[in-house]
Structure 1
Amino acid sequence: MRPSRRPPARFPAPPAWAAGCLLGLSLLVPSAPAQNTPRDAEKKLQQVRGELKNVAQERQRLQAEREAASRRLREADQKVARSGRAVADTEAAMRREQQALAGLQQRRATLEANLSRQREQLAALLRGAYRLGNHAPLKLLLSQDRVADANRELAYHRYLQRERARTIASLAGDLQALSANEQEILARSRELEQARAQQREQAAALAEDRRRRAQLAAELDQRYQDRSEREKVLGKDARALEQLLSSLRAAAARAEAER
């Protein structure tokens, strides 16, 4: 008798959901499309989890650097603001000194005009007194009353001369004090001009430092955003792989049970 031949064993076809899981694994693991097994999925899951951990750590590091850069940027903003206020205060002080100098120059013009007028009047008095003094012999020929009037006029001229001389001396003193004030104002103006030049130079340096810090903060923020997006993508991949691995294990367990 011929031995009876057994029909070949037939395994049930995998359900549609298992085929979908295998297709998803093949998309997630392009380097090994032919090995759609739980081991492959688990290996890929471990890789994704490792990269996710690294990306999360890098994101946290970038977060700390970004916060530090933001603090430095705020400090730079404050320095730039203080520098701008210092320049504005110096320029305001320079305007006040210029106004004071203009007032002194106007007062100088008034004093010089008054001094010139007083000198002219004093010169006129001196000429009058000179004429009276040179005609002293003629006074003897005049009557006693005329001589007394001439003496009184001469005394009056001398009084006016003294007053004019005192006025001229006072005006000259005022002009000298005014000149000293002008020199002080000019010296302060030069100091303020130098201070403003230094402050402007410092303000420019602070503005450049602020620009660099802002650029660094923007770069760190962009890198942080990129890492955050990458972390989200890896998180989704990890969850998908976990679901796929669970499905593959379940399918493998049912297949083993059916055998």
Structure 2
Amino acid sequence: MLCCFLPISSLATEQQKQDTRQDLSDVKKQIASHKDQLQQNNQQVESIQKQLRKDDLAIASVARKVKDTNTQQTQTRAKIADLRQQQQQLQKQKQQQEGLLAEQIRSAYSSGHHDYLKLLLNQQKPEQVQRTLTYYSYLNDARMQSIGNFQDILQQLADVEQEQQIQADKLQALAQEQKQQQQQMLANQGEREKTLKSLNSKILTSKQRLNKLEGEEKSLIQTLARIQAQLQKQKELTGLSKLKRKLKWPVRGRIAHSFGTKKQGYLRWKGVMMNAPVGRDIKAIHDGTVLFSDWLKGYGLVIVVDHGDGYMSLYGHNQALLKNVGDRVEIGEPIALVGQSGGVSQSGVYFEIRHKGKPVNPKLWCR
């Protein structure tokens, strides 16, 4: 009987092949698992981005209400101050009328004119009767006119006091409304903080952050390109070419990131990031027309203004937008409120100037 034996080296090689096949199989399974996990993460990130947009828009809605309430409060306080001034003037007129009436009454009693019948009967000369009657009629008319004026002043004073009470009640209601709005805003901000934590937990590596920023920048470029393509230039808008170093910054604040500095990886800042407190007015750098006013991934609430001749200015991460597409704006006019929408950790405004779609350094225009 013949027996065949494989060399030991051959057995080892066969075992290595099997081990290698198993390792390859395991690697493929891990790759497939990572792909599935990455896809799930991407879907979750997209879902969280939608929630972030919802949170930002909720805060924007309340912020606009708060600004409107503040405006109404200012107007109401001014009206109350005006009513108080009217009240003081009417009080002075009332005192003057009281003094005039008192003087007329004292004069009438001191001369005996208070008794009309006695005045007539005491006349010894008939020719003086008509003159006395006329004189008495004048005095009586003057006294009646003073009484009428006094009554008018009293009515005006009552009307002013009533209007004062109405305005005071309105001011109190506005204060209560503002308190509720602020509570709602705090609740919305709390929801946004939860959303941001959830978003940051899904973006772990620097490569993922870079991919996120690339996607956001691509979205912004596509949006601006679309705006540029749809833009119908208006002759009255002459652009910014002659305004270098003559424009004011859109908000008072410190520049945290300058144009052209490193952002992430090979990406550079195409505008400036200016730190400023939440709620501060953001003002248009020059006359123009609003081309875009909406939420944009990575930039939050964004407003874009066309200044003519291919020049546009962009303002991002706003708390609220005060203008709509198509609105004309003038230099220095508030167009948005400083915020931290779009997922930034600190409040401020992202500001760009572009000419024919290409970003330019805002420091060349603003001083």
TM above 0.5, yes or no, is: yes
CA offset digits 1:50-80 (Å, max 9, x no partner): 1111111111111111000000001101111
Identify the residue that residue 101 of structure 2 maps to in structure 1: 122
Select 2:29's aligned residue among 50, 62, 68.
50
Q: What percent of counterpart residues are identical?
A: 19
Per-residue CA deviation, residues 158-178 of structure 1 (Å, 9 max, x unaligned), is 111100111111111111111
* 1:180 shift after superposition: 1.0
After superposition, the C-alpha distances for 1:192-250 in whole angstroms (9 at most, x for unaligned) are: 01000000111111111111111211111227967xx9xxxxxxxxxxxxxxxxxxxxx
Maintained 8 Å contact 1:76/1:210: yes
Q: Output the CA distance in 2 between the equivalents of 1:60 and 1:71.
A: 17
Separation of aligned partners in 1, 2:169 and 2:178? 14
- Inter-partner Cα distance in structure 2 for 1:152 and 1:62: 103
Amino acid at match of 1:198: Q
Partner Cα separation in structure 2 for residue 86 and residue 171 of structure 1: 39
Pick the aligned partner of 2:199 from 176, 192, 217. 217
User: Who is 2:150 aligned against?
Assistant: 168
For 2:175, the equivalent position in structure 1 comes to 193
Task: Provide the TM-score with structure 1 as the length reference.
Answer: 0.68
Residues 101 and 137 of structure 1: is their aligned pair in 2 closer, same or farther, counting only changes over 3 Å? closer
**Distance of aligned partners of 1:128 and 1:149 in 2 relative to their CA distance in 1, 3 Å threshold:** farther
Instruction: Answer with 134-143 or 169-178: which moved more.
Output: 134-143
Post-superposition, which runs of at least 4 consecutive aligned residues in structure 1 deviate over 3 A?
134-151, 223-226
What is the rounded CA distance, in whole Å, between the counterparts of 2:20 and 2:128 in structure 1? 141
C-alpha displacement at 1:122, in angstroms? 1.0
SS in 2 for 1:222: coil
Judged with a 3 Å threshold, the aligned counterparts in structure 2 of structure 1 residues 51 and 157 are, in CA distance, closer, same or farther, namely same
Q: Is the 8 A contact 1:80 1:207 kept in 2?
A: yes
2:66 maps to 1:87: yes
- Rounded to whole Å, the distance in 2 between the matches of 1:202 and 1:224 is 35
Q: Flag the 1:156–1:141 CA change in 2: closer, same or farther, 3 A.
A: closer
1:193 to 1:113, Cα distance in 2 relative to 1, 3 A: same
Q: Distance in 2 between matches of 1:219 and 1:202?
A: 26
Could you tell me how far apart the structure 1 residues matched to 2:95 and 2:120 are?
34
When the two chains are superposed, the root-mean-square deviation of aligned CA atoms in Å is: 2.7
Question: What is the TM-score with the length of structure 2 in the denominator?
Answer: 0.49
CA distance in 2, matches of 1:51, 1:72: 31
CA distance in 2, matches of 1:120, 1:139: 31
Structure 2: gaps (5+ residues): 1-12, 212-367
Counterpart CA distance in 1 for 2:119 and 2:205 is 113
What corresponds to 2:112 in structure 1?
Answer: 133
CA contact (8 A) 2:112 2:119 kept: no
Equivalent in the alignment of 2:166: 184
Give aligned pairs, total.
195
**1:153 to partner: Cα distance:** 2.5
Per-residue CA deviations over 1:83-114 (Å, capped at 9, x if unaligned) read 11111111111111111111111111111111
